[in-house]
Structure 1
């Protein structure tokens, strides 16, 4: 009976495959667009001499189009070097230097045009004495006053929130966690698997952020997508009665691929930037935020699983294969897209 159901599922999938794959490709592309849209702009202001500041302003691009954003300061300033612009694969980078006629502390920094977008802007100001100020500007609050000092608590709160948002908006990381939840059997084994994934990505996040490990981001992102496809295949194999490595030791697979996902987190954190003098604090709370977001997602999925089990319904045999096929198809779309971008 089980074999017949699986054969029926395979036949149904083959009959629906063209439309299903097209829909998943469109869905993957939509998620990719969303991911690009929410990438933050970044404004870094560094005081190199007393009253003289070097500015780097990075704004996201979509194709050849740059978000119409402009960084402004409320005080008077004299330009030392005019604005120069260069482009990367996904951003426009502007640099210039100015001398502050009015002290920069106490001025209002604003990102003009941010209110018309769906993205945020991270502002980081480093002063000559080593002190720094970090603030996230949003479409609802596109400006902020630079205080005399920034407390450690404000840095902790900012990076905690950034960590939570990063994991909850990181669809690839969430799909990997979802695949692990589907294939893992037993509460204790699930705890071991989630713990292994957490420990692994915490290790590589810290090592890469602190500069001990340097890995190009493009291959890492492609391998992250491949890790999702691998677990999706393992789910199908498990349900067909072929127990693979992930079924027997999901914690080992979670730890191994978790090292890759940690490098992905580090790449995102490098784009955000870390405040000078408070790097360990910001790193700790960003990672803590990632863990909180991950646990929230796991709790939500386990709640959904519990509700589905309570529903008295005769599910067709092919229904259980919908999730791994969808996860695997989206993951392979990402693999192809990310490899093509090398």
Structure 2
């Protein structure tokens, strides 16, 4: 158990402090006339070793004409180019040349007088075949997968959900708290994405870290009666509104397909919920196993678990306040 807690602590400290920052490569391929397209891309830069001269892999019948306009910033490279294609591009592929590890790209293809196509590119599938008639489920599949990945790789949200389950601990109260958290961050995510609300991302990130520290303190208090233990769903709802701003920041980095904003928003949120349910079920299963094998040790184990949760949350809070 001590080794498990130590591993959780080291994993959290090693994780990126700005855990909401989903920064995939973004590629836009927009048709301007029957044979002319405008190509644009944004490549995040993680280190000085990253190649700043990459460009998308074009369909076989297409070529760049003129000079590529590149702008290099500290965290990203943006590029634009005019492309001429001989004949239709349907059935041909377009992609990115250097997707490694967990990196990914979002590709948008916007033909004249046809719906926008959205593809998610990964290391395993770095190219996508442009469809003559796009599937209605393209956006849903791509953004659902992004939502699942975000909650499972978004360390701060993940740790908050784990801490919430550890605090509440049992069946129906967990369901109510998780439902309140889901409803709250769904409302905020929609409001921010549609332009009805907004909050500075650095402030959001610091407050999310503070919410983790708050739950860790509540867990460490044991069974002492507090407002959080009496009304966990209310606390979950309040913090859910805050975490929704974080989800919105991630979705803003990913970008939304023009004309498909509602579908992308709903499918991303459903993906977040699916990932969240996986985490909740896993933690509840571990708690159930603990109660079955060592019921007397449950209070001690929960109190021990609160320390790595609190330390990681405090580390993120300090880092985000003074970075």
Question: Same fold by TM-score, threshold 0.5 exceeded?
Answer: yes
Alignment match, 1:282: 264
Query: SS in structure 2 opposite 1:231?
Result: helix
Query: SS in structure 2 opposite 1:71?
Result: coil
CA distance in 2, matches of 1:23, 1:320: 14
Whether the 8 Å contact between 2:20 and 2:249 is mirrored in structure 1 is: no
Alignment match, 1:14: none
Say yes or no: does 1:108 pair with 2:90.
Answer: no
Alignment match, 1:176: 160
**How many angstroms does 1:316 deviate by?**
9.5
**How many angstroms does 1:305 deviate by?**
0.5
Alignment match, 1:145: 129
Question: CA offsets per residue over residues 18-44 of structure 1, 9 Å max, x none?
Answer: xx99994x5334221896998422212
What stretches of structure 1 of length at least 5 have no aligned partner? 1-19
Q: TM-score, normalization: structure 2?
A: 0.87
Say yes or no: does 1:265 pair with 2:247.
Answer: yes
**How many angstroms does 1:254 deviate by?**
0.6
What stretches of structure 2 of length at least 5 have no aligned partner? none
Query: SS in structure 1 opposite 2:57?
Result: strand
Whether the 8 Å contact between 2:169 and 2:284 is mirrored in structure 1 is: no
- May I ask how many residue pairs the two structures share in their alignment? 318
Alignment match, 2:227: 245
CA distance in 2, matches of 1:23, 1:204: 29
C-alpha spacing 1:52/1:148, structure 2 compared with 1 (3 Å) = same
Whether the 8 Å contact between 2:24 and 2:43 is mirrored in structure 1 is: yes
Q: TM-score, normalization: structure 1?
A: 0.83
CA distance in 2, matches of 1:21, 1:232: 16
Aligned-pair Cα RMSD in Å: 2.9
Query: SS in structure 2 opposite 1:112?
Result: coil
Question: CA offsets per residue over residues 188-207 of structure 1, 9 Å max, x none?
Answer: 32222111101001101111
**Equivalent position to 1:93, from 74, 78, 81:** 78
Whether the 8 Å contact between 2:12 and 2:155 is mirrored in structure 1 is: no
CA distance in 1, matches of 2:272, 2:8: 30
**How many angstroms does 1:67 deviate by?**
5.2
**How many angstroms does 1:314 deviate by?**
6.2
CA distance in 1, matches of 2:23, 2:321: 20
Alignment match, 1:209: 193
**Equivalent position to 1:79, from 65, 73, 80:** 65
Alignment match, 1:5: none
CA distance in 2, matches of 1:49, 1:29: 51
C-alpha spacing 1:37/1:282, structure 2 compared with 1 (3 Å) = closer
CA distance in 1, matches of 2:252, 2:322: 23
CA distance in 1, matches of 2:8, 2:289: 27
